Copies of this chain bind each other. A is one copy, B any other.
Amino acid sequence: MEFASRAAEFRPSPVRAVFETAMDPSVVSLAGGNPDLSVLPGGDIGALASSLLAERGGEILQYGSGAGTTPLRDLVVQLMSRGGSDITSADVLPTTGSQAGLDLVTKLYCNPGDVILAEGPTYVGALGVFGAYEVDVRHVEVDEHGLDPQRVATALEQLAAEGKRVPFVYVIPSFQNPTGVTMPAERRRELVRVCAKRDVMIVEDDPYPLLSFDRSGPLPSMHGMDPEHVIHLGSFSKIFAPGLRVGWLVAPPEVRGRLQIAAESVVIHPSNLAQSLVTSWVGSEQWEPALDRAVEFYRERWQAMKAALEEFMPEHASWTEPTGGFFTWVTVPGLADKDDLLRDAIEQGVVLVPGSACYSDGRSSDAVRLAFSGVSPVRIREGVKRFAQIL
């Protein structure tokens, strides 16, 4: 039996494709955006899981509500208030990781042939989601302050002139994946105005806002500025543990209700154990100090990567200067001419994400995404050195 037409658009993520290679200890992985988990006390977290199951096992192991657990939703209300969102637990839908939330939003809004505006470059995983719904992605190039709302307005006008339906703009405002750049508050406000005026939703994918190197609070979220026109995707993967697969979305009431129905038809409900463990840990007094330590690692690692880039990169190379998060975007003129950058890199013992993977059309790119979050400073220096050797 033939597959459906959409199957032609299923694309393996290049990060996932090198997942096994990246586990090889002889290889330096600058590919995956892995959080540092050495700050997590496995024994304490195990003890939390143990007491949850001993005390409420009958409830946690049984079917749960498609709306998610109330304690987790209450916790998200608190977290979202840091970015200026004034919501109640009824506005929150826990998801099996935030990418599952993006899948649901795309499923709800996008017909085949619709256009999504996204940053250029954007998160490779999002391109996989959009492809599966046969959506066209148009990129608006970012600068050092992220997406420029005026460029978005121009793109939306052009797409309207082409008769294209644009259900939403997909944007990662804080420490963007893959460039590490952050949209200032004023740009966020202007983007909200631009999109609301045209009845285009904003999907704000925001897994990194608490990871500012200087430990300043998050910038105001676009959701907080205009909750009727913004769907917010959040994640516990970068502030606790990706292996549990817990994220959330916040959306206007009717939209949230539809998304819950769509979610229930796929997973019935999010894992109770994962939700409970996240609630216990992130709700504990140990969470924020551990996060502080992790962010201190990220800051040191970025410093190590910056030093290595300055030491090993050719003179004409350039890179973004993230103030938080996991990534920098390194541009080396001429890199696009390489036949198979990733193969060459793996041969040198380093993995990374080629820039072309971050564009829906797979255009050639002079850039790569380097992740510094999950690797020690010594290994970062070695990885950048190996990367320099293929240039």
* Residues on A facing B (Cβ under 8 Å): 1, 3-7, 10-13, 16, 19-20, 32, 34-35, 37-38, 40, 42-43, 45-47, 49-66, 96-97, 99-100, 103, 107-111, 114, 125, 128-129, 131-132, 167-168, 199-201, 237, 240-245, 258, 261-262, 264-274, 277
Contact = CB atoms under 8 A, between A and B. Distances in A.
Complex A-B, nearest 10 residue pairs according to Cβ-Cβ distance, in ascending order: A42-B57, A46-B53, A61-B241, A50-B50, A128-B265, A46-B50, A243-B272, A49-B49, A46-B54, A61-B243
Given A107-B6, A268-B99, A54 B61 contact: no
Contacts of A269: 245
A11 B260 CA distance: 10
A268 B61 contact: no
For the complex, would chain A's binding face be called helix, strand, loop or mixed by DSSP majority? helix
Given A1-B199, A4-B167, A34-B63, 4 more contacts: A20-B65, A40-B57, A63-B242, A273-B277
Given A1-B201, A7-B258, A62 B42 contact: no
A64 to B, nearest CB: 6
Nearest to A229: B1
A346 B247 CA distance: 34
A32 B268 contact: no
A366 to B, nearest CB: 27
Contacts of A242: 61-63, 268
A34 B131 CA distance: 36
B16 A40 contact: no
A12 B273 contact: no
Nearest to A273: B244
Contact of A61 (B45, B100, B111): B45
Contacts of A96: 96, 245, 266-267, 271
Contacts of A47: 50
A38 B109 CA distance: 42
A244 B61 contact: yes
Contact of A52 (B46, B129, B258, B264): B46
A66 B16 contact: yes
Contacts of A272: 243-244
Given A65-B20, A265-B128, A268-B125, A58 B37 contact: yes
B258 A271 contact: no
A97 B268 contact: yes
Contact of A53 (B42, B61, B245): B42
